[in-house]
């Protein structure tokens, strides 16, 4: 039995999702077709749209289904930039936090490299929370030149939540729309799209027990978004591509279940995380906990832990061999572990940013997972420390 401690990467599909997706896969009908089979498919898609919207306190017309959270983030960042720039040529500035997921950071960087955008990375404090004074200063400087602000709801690597409400208040005062990547937050924290005031929000199926390849961008209908994908114009002319009725069904059911169970699950997962941190601390007294220590300021299930003297990739390998799945910050496409840009932005040095592992708990986690980690960790850390002195980096 493996201890799966990587729910922030992807989490097991909820039992309610599988039959829903299977049933939908058995149906025929393109939701855009005019005949009876098509209309029936359209009806089911719209019911699932309403279900998802209701769970997140959005209007159905605000839901744009996409093929991934990455696509939704790209659509928000690029689509808002292009549309806002088309309205006013002066709007070149894109403000994003320095701890965004690569789906936002790299989309913004691409705008900077090839679309004449001026990308500004907003700094965070030592727990990874946005520096609101820096946002104020950035907005005060030529607010009419800002195309958009993108700040995630909660960080995927360290779990720290962002002051989204404050970001919205400030950006809106300057007349600037706000996007938030909430893929880690939905199902883990209360997320109310309507009340949050954000103009666009990313939600992804497989992070909360739905299928991979099904996601959505919630976006206010009055806000123009230039499409990334052109074709049939299925989703409000903002996103083209035959609607994935089965994926949408799975996404909607998963969001509905995850949101309904969120309060109960939050309490349970928070408790397990506390157990995990305590167990690691007992085994490795000099462990460093990255992110906000206040339980109200972070995701319930994410524990980003630094192991001084260890290289994270060596530790990951040893834990893997010992039956524990966890992750380093991020890896490039060839699989080389990179220093975490999140930890670097939080002021950690390169050594610290390459000696941290993320353990993330979810709806299937139990005390046995924590016990399994506690069992193999001391030996793994001891070995990784010996190897750490022979680091390939410095060698």
Partner 1 sequence: MRVLAAVSGGVDSAVAAARLVEAGHEVTAVHLALARTPAASRSGSRGCCSRQDAHDARRVADLLGVPCYVWDVSAPFQRAVVDDFLAQYAAGRTPNPCLRCNEQVKFAAVLDRALALGFDAVATGHYARREVAADGSVTLHRAADPAKDQSYVLAVLTQHQLRHSLFPLGGDSKPAVRAEAAARGLAVAAKPDSHDICFIPDGDTAGYLQRMLGSASGPVVDARSGAVVGRHDGVHAFTIGQRRGLALAEPAPDGRPRYVLALSPVDRTVTVGPREDLTVTGVWTDVPVWCSGEPMLPVSVRAQYRAHGEAVPAQVSTAARPAGGSQPADAVGLSVSFTVPQLGVAPGQTIAFYTGEEGERVLGSATIVGTWRP
- Continuous segment of H or E residues that includes residue 258: helix 245-283
Query: Which residues, 346 to 385, sit near partner 1 by CB under 8 A?
Result: 383-384
| Listed ranges 131-139, 161-169, 227-235, 335-343: which one lies at the site for partner 1 (CB under 8 A) | 335-343
- The SS3 call for residue 179 is strand
Tell which one of 53, 249, 318, 361 touches partner 1 (CB under 8 A).
Answer: 318
Residue 333 within binding range of partner 1, rule CB under 8 A: yes
User: Residue 127 or residue 381: which is nearer to partner 1 going by CB?
Assistant: 381
User: Residue 152 or residue 381: which is nearer to partner 1 going by CB?
Assistant: 381
State in angstroms the smallest separation of the CB of 354 from partner 1. 10
Are residues 340 and 242 in contact, defined by beta-carbon separation less than 8 angstroms?
A: no
Residue 2 within binding range of partner 1, rule CB under 8 A: no
Residue 337 within binding range of partner 1, rule CB under 8 A: yes
Q: How far is CA 15 from CA 7, 189, 209, in A?
A: 16, 21, 9
CA pair distance 80, 102, nearest whole angstrom: 17
Residue 393 within binding range of partner 1, rule CB under 8 A: yes
- Give me the helix-helix angle, 164-173 and 132-140, nearest 10°: 10
Q: How far is CA 316 from CA 268, 325, 329, 367, in A?
A: 26, 8, 11, 20
- Sheet with strand 63-66: strands edge to edge: 63-66, 215-219, 200-204, 178-181, 146-150, 93-97, 118-122
Tell which one of 317, 323, 330, 347 touches partner 1 (CB under 8 A).
Answer: 317
Residue 114 within binding range of partner 1, rule CB under 8 A: no
| Listed ranges 116-124, 186-194, 334-342, 360-368: which one lies at the site for partner 1 (CB under 8 A) | 334-342
CA pair distance 215, 181, nearest whole angstrom: 12
26, 332, 336, 392: the catalytic one is: 332
Active site residue 332: yes
User: Residue 28 or residue 392: which is nearer to partner 1 going by CB?
Assistant: 392
- Which string of b and e fits 14-51 if b means at least 16 CB within 10 Å? beebeebbeebeeeebbbeeeeeeeebbbebbeebbeb
Other beta carbons within 10 angstroms of residue 357's beta carbon come to 23
State in angstroms the smallest separation of the CB of 121 from partner 1. 22
Query: Which residues, 256 to 315, sit near partner 1 by CB under 8 A?
Result: 313-314
- Continuous segment of H or E residues that includes residue 43: helix 36-55
State in angstroms the smallest separation of the CB of 322 from partner 1. 11
State in angstroms the smallest separation of the CB of 388 from partner 1. 8
Longest dimension (CA), the chain: 68
- The SS3 call for residue 6 is strand
User: Residue 252 or residue 318: which is nearer to partner 1 going by CB?
Assistant: 318
User: Residue 23 or residue 331: which is nearer to partner 1 going by CB?
Assistant: 331
Number of residues that bind partner 1 (CB under 8 A): 23
What does the binding site for partner 1 look like in residue numbers (CB under 8 A)? Answer: 313-314, 317-318, 320-321, 331, 333-337, 383-384, 386-387, 389-395
The catalytic residue positions are 332
């Amino acid at each position: 039995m493996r201890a799966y401690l990587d729910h922030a990467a992807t989490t097991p599909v909820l039992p309610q999702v599988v039959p829903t997706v299977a049933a939908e896969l058995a149906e025929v009908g393109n939701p855009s077709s005019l005949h009876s089979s098509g209309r029936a498919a359209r009806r089911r898609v719209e019911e699932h749209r309403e279900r998802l919207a209701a769970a997140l306190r959005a209007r159905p017309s605000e839901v744009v289904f996409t093929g991934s959270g990455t696509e939704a983030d790209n659509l928000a960042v690029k689509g808002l930039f292009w549309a806002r720039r088309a309205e006013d040529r002066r709007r070149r500035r894109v403000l994003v936090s320095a701890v965004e997921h690569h789906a936002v950071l790299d989309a913004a960087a691409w705008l900077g490299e090839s679309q004449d955008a001026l990308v500004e990375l907003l700094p965070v404090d030592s727990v990874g929370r946005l520096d609101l004074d820096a946002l104020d200063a950035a907005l005060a400087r030529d607010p009419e030149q800002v195309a958009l602000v993108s700040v995630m709801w909660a960080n995927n690597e360290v779990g720290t939540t962002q002051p989204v409400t404050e970001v919205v208040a400030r950006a809106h005062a300057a007349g600037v729309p706000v996007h938030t990547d909430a893929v880690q937050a939905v199902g883990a924290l209360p997320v109310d799209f309507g009340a949050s005031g954000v103009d666009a929000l990313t939600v992804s199926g497989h992070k909360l027990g739905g299928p991979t390849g099904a996601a959505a961008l919630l976006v206010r209908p009055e806000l123009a978004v230039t499409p990334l994908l052109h074709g049939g114009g299925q989703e409000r002319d903002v996103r083209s591509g035959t609607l994935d009725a089965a994926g949408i069904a799975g996404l909607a059911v998963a969001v509905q279940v995850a949101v309904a169970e969120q309060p109960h699950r939050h309490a349970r997962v928070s408790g397990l995380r506390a157990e995990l941190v305590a167990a690691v601390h007992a085994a490795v007294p000099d462990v460093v906990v990255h992110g906000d220590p206040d339980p109200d300021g972070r995701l319930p299930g994410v524990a980003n832990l630094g192991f001084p003297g260890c290289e994270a990739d060596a530790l990951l390998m040893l834990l893997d061999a010992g039956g524990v799945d966890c992750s380093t910050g991020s890896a490039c496409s060839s699989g080389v572990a990179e220093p975490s840009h999140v930890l670097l932005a939080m002021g950690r040095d390169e050594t610290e940013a390459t000696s941290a592992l993320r353990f993330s708990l979810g709806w299937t986690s139990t005390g046995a997972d924590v016990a399994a980690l506690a069992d193999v960790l001391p030996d793994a850390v001891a070995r990784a420390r010996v190897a750490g002195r022979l680091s390939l980096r410095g060698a």
